[in-house]
Amino acid sequence: MRLSYVATGALMTVRELMRNRLVLIMLFLIPSIFYTLVALTTSDRPIAFKLASVSEDTFVSVSQKSESLIFIGVAAVGFLTSFVAMNLIRRDVEVNRRLVICGYRPSELIVSKLTVLMGVILVVALFVSLSLLLFFRPDRFALTAVGLILAGWVYGAYGLLVGAIFRRELEAILFIVLLANIDAGWLQNPIYYADAQNTEIIRALPAYFPSQISMVAAFSDHSVTVPIAASVGYGLGLLFLALIVHRWRMPRVRHHGHLGDHNG
């Protein structure tokens, strides 16, 4: 793999992303709106909920506002990064075809997009983490931020998979919105989890482990080693599937390119 080609591909991807000013604004505007609504509509009334990744009998009691801020932060990061990832892998399909014909390796194009995606994940997750400090300071701020970064990692990989599978943008957007709303935006709320049936389904969803990292780190001193490892593994699994689908399509581009050179 030629690092100069990867760097050039990443730079072109960043420039293309920067041209879409609306997307850049929404990356920061959406979390700000979510946090403002939480601050205006929730109270400081104490609530108790379960830290499921620690044990089924471990409960903490915190203010409703603090719990909601962590929960909505994970949901915002997951939704935004999955949407950006879907766009990155689907963006400029014809440009990618021409780049492969001109000598770029499919692996170099994929790595360049992953590099840009990781940068977006870090920027969005750190912005959301720092915004928390306007309302309260988590017990372990750094690990809370790690949970938000891993939420972006897992949902970014999911966005890549969705973008690789669906050829039309509408279907891809619907699958992202559907899972992000049901998973990160609903089922991972620990208040709901406390009385939920069939919790195995909730624990199998992408946002479970990142949500647990942030909740456990923000409100207790329990270890988060297991959910961190599980989040990394979950994201790697989704990424592996996404790369298989994407790489399966790329050889066709190379094949057509050789035919075109031969005919010319």
Residue 12 has pLDDT above 80, yes or no: no
Which range, of 35-44, 76-85, 94-103, 177-186, averages the lowest pLDDT?
A: 94-103
Per residue in 101-113, pLDDT (tens digit) is 566 666 677 788 8
Contact by Cβ (8 Å): 88, 163: yes
What is the Cα–Cα distance from 210 to 195, expressed in whole angstroms? 20
Encoded tokens for 135: 């309302």
Q: What is the pLDDT of residue 264?
A: 41
Domain hosting residue 155, numbered range: 3-263
Contact by Cβ (8 Å): 144, 70: yes
SS3 state at 62: strand
pTM: 0.87
In degrees, rounded to 5, the angle at the alpha carbon of residue 51 between the alpha carbons of residues 48 and 53 is 170
Per residue in 117-167, pLDDT (tens digit) is 999 999 999 999 999 999 999 999 999 999 999 999 999 999 999 988 887
Domain count for the chain, please give it: 1
Encoded tokens for 89: 């892998």
Mean pLDDT of 224-248: 92
What mean pLDDT is reported for the chain? 86
Beta strand ranges found along the chain (DSSP E): 46-50, 59-63
